[in-house]
């Protein structure tokens, strides 16, 4: 078992200095603190059951993806609910952390320790993907939700929807569709890249050339889905089926189809995504969906991180949890019409 004295001897400081660094005391310099924390992490200090943490574990939660804060609708609200459940099961506390309050030059480890946070759960997108790597390098125990990493110190829990996305596009191809629209969130993250990869893979297997005019991005909300449907149907050669990669966009597309008098699925097939709150069951027709259990990501990440920060040696490290999404075929798909529906940009039907 690693001791405070062993850490102190290895880096040439007094045991009291090590104790102050580990407790988050402000009475030592950041340079010394970082040396202590790096050595403690290297030696695995605090991982054994014989080194209990004083008091309850507090998990910090930071949403660094563009569209989460402060709405917390859909996917992110499900993840957050899962985090709270997982932390409660592990008898831990959860608190929100604003990393922008970190002082210039202040380490992440020191910043979090000063707020009584023992581990951090992160939600990122492509723009903030690297922040998790920086925090892990600083010696902080973290778990990232909805992304994947090769770095051994970056733990993660995510859903993989690539295969299910390929399945849903192959389902449409099997019905006879050849022009299939694809609409994704205009802020890329791992989930939407997985779905784009699955879409392209299905077309490639079927020998269908990817048409860039059938791949668009819009905000991941109801209005974005409606705008996407307008764009697709005003195309000179409109699609006969559309894959929306977000639940709210799917709902927006279905609603806009009703407003335009386009019958789903006889005149247009629509498929989408359901993050686990049964959105697909709330539309008419019930839409065919790539389904994933988003709340489980929050549960598993929080449960694992709480046990790890609490010194539970049985917690597998690193965390590499990948839950596979699955296809559910419902009522929103059918063979393509003899002639695709085409609209003007103002919503007037041409064909």
Sheet holding 142-145, edge to edge: 93-96, 58-63, 119-123, 142-145, 155-160, 320-324
The model's pLDDT over 176-222, given as tens digits with 9 standing for 90+, comes to 999 999 999 988 888 899 999 999 999 999 999 999 999 999 998 99
CB 52 within 8 A of CB 313: no
pLDDT at 282: 93
pLDDT at 54: 38
Per-residue pLDDT, averaged over 229-257, amounts to 96
For residues 180 and 183, give the distance between their C-alpha atoms in angstroms, rounded to a whole number.
10
Q: Which CATH class is domain 1-45?
A: mainly alpha
- In this prediction, residue 152 has a pLDDT band, given cuts at 50, 70 and 90, of confident
pLDDT at 287: 97
CB 234 within 8 A of CB 263: no
What percent of the chain lies above the pLDDT cut of 70?
Answer: 91
CA distances from 320 to 84, 135, 157, 261, 336 (A): 20, 18, 6, 46, 41
pLDDT at 51: 35
Burial class (CB in 10 A: 0-12, 13-18, 19+), 96: exposed
Q: For the domain 162-293, what is the CATH superfamily, name and number?
A: Response regulator (3.40.50.2300)
- In this prediction, residue 285 has a pLDDT band, given cuts at 50, 70 and 90, of very high
The model's pLDDT over 39-56, given as tens digits with 9 standing for 90+, comes to 877 777 754 433 334 347
What percent of the chain lies above the pLDDT cut of 90?
Answer: 56
Strand 269-274 versus strand 241-244 pairing type? parallel
- In this prediction, residue 72 has a pLDDT band, given cuts at 50, 70 and 90, of low
pLDDT at 50: 32
- Going by C-alpha positions, the residue among 299, 239, 303 that lies closest to residue 270 is 239
Least-confidence region, from 18-27, 116-125, 299-308: 18-27
Return the axis-axis angle of helices 4-11 and 15-23, rounded to nearest 10°: 110
Mean pLDDT, the chain, rounded, equals 88
* Stronger pLDDT, 348 or 226, i.e. the higher one: 226
Predicted confidence (pLDDT) at residue 351 exceeds the cutoff of 60: yes
The DSSP code sequence of 232-263 is: HHTSSS--SEEEESSHHHHHHHHHHHHHHT--
Predicted confidence (pLDDT) at residue 270 exceeds the cutoff of 70: yes
Provide CATH 3.40.50.2300 ranges for the chain.
Answer: 55-159+296-324, 162-293
Q: For the domain 55-159+296-324, what is the CATH superfamily, name and number?
A: Response regulator (3.40.50.2300)
Provide CATH 1.10.260.40 ranges for the chain.
Answer: 1-45
Mean pLDDT is highest, among 41-50, 151-160, 162-171, for 162-171
- Going by C-alpha positions, the residue among 264, 263, 259 that lies closest to residue 230 is 259
pLDDT at 277: 83
pLDDT at 203: 97
């Amino acid at each position: 078992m690693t001791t405070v004295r062993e850490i102190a001897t290895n880096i040439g400081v007094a045991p009291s200095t090590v104790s102050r660094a580990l407790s988050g005391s402000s009475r030592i310099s950041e340079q010394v603190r970082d040396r202590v924390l790096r050595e403690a992490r290297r030696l695995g200090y605090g991982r054994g059951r014989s080194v209990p943490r004083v008091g309850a574990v507090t998990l910090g939660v930071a949403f660094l993806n563009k569209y989460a804060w402060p709405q917390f609708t859909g996917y992110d609200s499900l993840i957050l609910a899962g985090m709270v459940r997982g932390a409660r099961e592990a008898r831990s506390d959860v608190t929100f952390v604003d990393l922008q309050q970190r002082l210039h030059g202040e380490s992440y480890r020191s910043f979090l320790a000063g707020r009584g946070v023992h581990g951090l759960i992160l939600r990122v997108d492509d723009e903030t993907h690297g922040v998790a790597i920086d925090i892990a390098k600083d010696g902080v125990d973290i778990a990232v939700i909805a992304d994947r990493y090769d770095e051994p110190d970056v733990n993660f829990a995510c859903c993989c929807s690539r295969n299910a996305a390929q399945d849903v596009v192959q389902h449409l191809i099997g019905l006879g569709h050849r022009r299939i629209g694809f609409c994704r969130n205009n802020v890329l993250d791992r989930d939407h890249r997985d779905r784009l990869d699955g879409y392209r893979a299905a077309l490639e297997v079927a020998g269908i050339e990817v048409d860039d005019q059938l791949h668009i991005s819009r905000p991941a909300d109801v209005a974005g889905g409606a705008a996407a449907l307008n764009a697709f149907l005003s195309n000179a050669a409109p699609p006969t089926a559309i894959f929306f990669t977000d639940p709210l966009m799917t709902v927006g597309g279905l609603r806009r189809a009703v407003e335009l008098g386009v019958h789903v699925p006889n005149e247009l097939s629509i498929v989408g995504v359901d993050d686990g709150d049964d959105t697909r069951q709330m539309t008419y027709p019930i839409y065919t969906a790539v389904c994933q259990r988003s709340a489980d990501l929050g549960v598993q990440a929080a449960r694992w991180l709480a046990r790890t920060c609490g010194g539970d040696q049985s917690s597998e490290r690193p965390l590499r949890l990948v839950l596979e999404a699955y296809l559910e075929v419902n009522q929103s798909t059918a063979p393509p019409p003899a002639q695709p529906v085409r609209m003007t940009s103002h919503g007037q039907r041409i064909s």
